[in-house]
């Protein structure tokens, strides 16, 4: 729903990486794997 969408948009970038929570190698690999058509 729009509110959930808005909440996630505040918390995560469009690749699913959190703006606030620190990342690690495993999570970063997951984020990278979601990126399609890298230009």
Taking the CB of residue 36, how many other CB atoms lie within 10 A of it? Answer: 5
Smallest CA-to-CA distance from 31 within 17, 20, 12 is with 17
> Binding of other proteins at residue 7 (CB under 8 A)?
no
> Binding of other proteins at residue 30 (CB under 8 A)?
no
User: Environment class of residue 29 by beta-carbon count within 10 Å: exposed (0-12), middle (13-18) or buried (19+)?
Assistant: exposed
Out of 7, 8, 13, 30, the only residue in the binding site for other proteins (CB under 8 A) is 13
> Binding of other proteins at residue 22 (CB under 8 A)?
yes
Provide the binding-site residues for other proteins, judged by CB under 8 A: 13-15, 17-25, 28-29, 31-32, 35, 38-39
């Amino acid at each position: 729903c729009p509110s959930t969408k808005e909440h996630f948009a505040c918390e995560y970038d469009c690749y699913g990486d959190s703006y606030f929570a620190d990342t690690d190698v495993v999570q970063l690999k997951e984020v990278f794997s979601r990126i399609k058509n890298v230009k």
